[in-house]
Chains A and B, each alone.
Chain A
Amino acid sequence: MSLYFIKPGMQTSIQDLGRKGQMHNGISYSGAMDPIALKVANWLVSKPLDSAVIEITLVGPVIRFEQDMFIAITGAQFELSLNNKPVFNNEIIQISNGDILSFGKLITGARAYLSISKNINVPKLFDSYSTHLTVSFGGFNGRAFKQGDRLNVLSSDINEIYTKKIPKYVNSFYAGSYMLRCTSSVETDLFTDTQKASFTSKKYSVDANSNRMGIRLKDIAMEFDKPIEITSSGLMQGSIQITPIGLPIVSSVDGQTIGGYPRIANVVTADLPILGQLKANDKVSFIFISDSQARKILINQRHILNALHE
């Protein structure tokens, strides 16, 4: 009753939708960086959409299944093979005891999600199974998988499976170049019009030092005549902080709960899943939209995802 990690991959960890309601204690959400791909993976294997899954980053694992089950892989596309025969994303894959699943070359995106029809047996902490990788707690022993790890699974009542096709409107193609929509943040008005114009006029490359705490961008967004001094305050996912030398950092799932750099804008909630698919040298640019537009976009996206519940 387990999954055996022949190779662990670069950063393979257990994630669900994260632990909310603990930011006042300094605990950020963690959870899948691409929550849409997580939900679709769970939907394919007929599990509750918020179930814990395995998040796979840039270099995927090789896993031997020691139990019959169904699985589905969503998000980033890798060259996948099951016992050396190709298998594909966004489909239900039937697994027999002893099967070996290998993640090969990464094709698009950065993070894939592997959902299994069995239940993943890890402790629930603050109402979540997610691994907080920067603080080392939650999930599988508070860390990413290592070679030779065995993840125990528990039986579930999913014994048969229906063929499902992902609705067309759920995007799973990652072009590597994105326009991220954003709205104003706490310090937006402390930036000059010239600085804001400079921020939105540029195309930025993603830095290889990006991780689950934040996406770092390599290009200078603006110049400062004098630094913007602020008092630290609550930092939300998607906050675009500008460091004193003008580099943007977009806060993500494992980010700090309180931050001290001024925020020029926040990426809209509907676009946060894209952060999970960014990898080094991908390109991003930013566009300001109004709060009411952001809400319309979010409601529309939720409406689409709610269709998966039916």
Chain B
Amino acid sequence: MNGDSAITILFNDDISEKLTQKVIGVSELIRKNLNKSLIDIIPAYQSLTISFNGELISFDKLIRDIELILSLPLPQEDYQSKTIEIPVCYEDEFSPDLESLAYYCNQTTEEVITLHTQPTYLVHMLGFLPGFLYLGGLSNSIACPRKKTPAISIPAGSVAIGGNQTGIYPVSSPGGWHIIGRTPLDLFNLESDSPFIAKPLDKVRFTAISRAEFLAIRQSTL
């Protein structure tokens, strides 16, 4: 149970792309089957949290339905994952913590940028803030413990490293991660028909851009 109005299914497998496919697959099946009695369903690395309307479905019926769904084979049609290029300006103005992170990791700032732009990252889930992507695939060589004292306000679009994770702040927010750059893209855009840049199972790549390119993209999105 996750309180009296939600349950959380925990998966024992290690965090991986395969597990995320399973979590998302089960999530879609539950969404289709529970209809109105479902309020929210939150996929995460190794879990699925389901909040339900207790007036429309009894708890026992919900558990039976979910056990049935879990016993079904997952749909074979794979989600056509997109690869999203996210331009990032790593220059001083947008990267207050790049130098200290490089120092901690015993790398040059250029090496940090290369290591950050090399991998193709997997979107495991969205959460924490609207449009925040939980990405898997950060190089261990640039992992760095979170700051002891979080910054009071980190600007929207900031690209950061915290522990063994990397992410982008979709809106300005307090935060304890190390800021190494900024993207001119909007990760949460209410004006758009698709307010979120990516979905779980999509892939993300970072490309380094100059300050001039950053400003040009920013201009064109206004």
Is there a chain B Cβ closer than 8 Å to A136's Cβ? Answer: yes
Taking CB atoms, residues of chain B closer than 8 Å to A295 are 4, 54, 59
Proximity string of chain B (111-130) to chain A, C-beta cutoff 8 Å, 1 when within and 0 when not: 00000000000000111111
Proximity string of chain B (59-91) to chain A, C-beta cutoff 8 Å, 1 when within and 0 when not: 100000000000000000000000000000000
Given B10, B54, B171, which contacts A135 in the complex, CB threshold below 8 Å? B171
CB of B168 to closest CB in A, whole Å: 12
Taking CB atoms, residues of chain B closer than 8 Å to A135 are 129-130, 171, 173, 188
Assembled-state Cα–Cα distance A136/B125 (Å): 22
Q: Which of A215-242 contact B (CB under 8 A)?
A: 231-236, 238-239
Assembled-state Cα–Cα distance A27/B190 (Å): 12
| A258/B15 contact (C-beta < 8 A), A20-B40, A186-B2 known | no
Residue of chain A at shortest CB distance from B165:
A232
CB of A141 to closest CB in B, whole Å: 12
Inter-chain contact B55/A294, CB cutoff 8 Å = no
CB of A170 to closest CB in B, whole Å: 19
Inter-chain contact B131/A233, CB cutoff 8 Å = no
Is there a chain B Cβ closer than 8 Å to A257's Cβ? Answer: yes
| A231/B46 contact (C-beta < 8 A), A24-B40, A26-B126, A26-B129 known | yes
Is there a chain A Cβ closer than 8 Å to B29's Cβ? Answer: no
Is there a chain A Cβ closer than 8 Å to B214's Cβ? Answer: no
Stretch at the interface among A6-14, A71-79, A263-271: A263-271
Q: How large is the interface on B (under 10, 10 to 19, 20 to 34, 35 or more residues)?
A: 35 or more
Inter-chain contact A231/B47, CB cutoff 8 Å = yes
Q: Could you say which of B15, B48, B190 has the most chain A C-beta atoms within 10 Å of its C-beta?
A: B190
| A234/B49 contact (C-beta < 8 A), A125-B190, A256-B127, A302-B55 known | yes
Taking CB atoms, residues of chain A closer than 8 Å to B105 are none
Is there a chain B Cβ closer than 8 Å to A23's Cβ? Answer: yes
Inter-chain contact A231/B131, CB cutoff 8 Å = no
Assembled-state Cα–Cα distance A302/B55 (Å): 9
Inter-chain contact B54/A236, CB cutoff 8 Å = no
Taking CB atoms, residues of chain A closer than 8 Å to B54 are 269, 295, 298-299
Q: Which of B148-184 contact A (CB under 8 A)?
A: 170-171, 173
Q: Which of B1-47 contact A (CB under 8 A)?
A: 1-6, 8, 10, 15, 27, 39-47
Is there a chain A Cβ closer than 8 Å to B206's Cβ? Answer: no
CB of A16 to closest CB in B, whole Å: 16
Assembled-state Cα–Cα distance A136/B134 (Å): 21
Is there a chain B Cβ closer than 8 Å to A21's Cβ? Answer: yes
Inter-chain contact A21/B39, CB cutoff 8 Å = yes
Given A20, A236, A257, A268, which contacts B128 in the complex, CB threshold below 8 Å? A257
Taking CB atoms, residues of chain B closer than 8 Å to A231 are 15, 44-47
| A21/B40 contact (C-beta < 8 A), A231-B46, A258-B127 known | yes
Inter-chain contact B129/A234, CB cutoff 8 Å = no
| A232/B44 contact (C-beta < 8 A), A21-B39, A24-B126, A256-B127 known | yes
| A23/B45 contact (C-beta < 8 A), A186-B2, A233-B8 known | no
Assembled-state Cα–Cα distance A238/B1 (Å): 13
CB of A77 to closest CB in B, whole Å: 29
Given B4, B8, B129, which contacts A269 in the complex, CB threshold below 8 Å? B4
CB of B107 to closest CB in A, whole Å: 27
CB of B5 to closest CB in A, whole Å: 5
Is there a chain B Cβ closer than 8 Å to A173's Cβ? Answer: no
Assembled-state Cα–Cα distance A35/B34 (Å): 25
CB of A249 to closest CB in B, whole Å: 14
Assembled-state Cα–Cα distance A210/B173 (Å): 17
Proximity string of chain B (168-210) to chain A, C-beta cutoff 8 Å, 1 when within and 0 when not: 0011010000000000000010100001100000000000000
CB of B2 to closest CB in A, whole Å: 5
Taking CB atoms, residues of chain B closer than 8 Å to A27 are 130
Given A20, A258, A298, which contacts B125 in the complex, CB threshold below 8 Å? A258
Is there a chain B Cβ closer than 8 Å to A90's Cβ? Answer: no
Sample 20 A-B pairs with CB under 8 A, ordered by A number: A20-B39, A22-B40, A24-B125, A25-B195, A26-B127, A26-B128, A183-B1, A186-B8, A186-B47, A231-B44, A234-B8, A234-B48, A234-B49, A236-B49, A236-B51, A239-B2, A258-B128, A266-B2, A266-B4, A295-B54
User: Given A132-B130, A236-B51, 8 more contacts at CB 8 Å?
Assistant: A20-B39, A23-B42, A134-B173, A186-B47, A234-B6, A234-B40, A234-B127, A256-B128
Binding site for A on B (CB under 8 A): 1-6, 8, 10, 15, 27, 39-49, 51, 54-55, 59, 125-132, 134, 170-171, 173, 188, 190, 195-196
Q: Give the 10 A-B residue pairs with the shortest CB-CB distance, closest first.
A: A234-B49, A266-B3, A234-B42, A258-B127, A294-B4, A233-B47, A23-B40, A233-B44, A257-B127, A26-B130
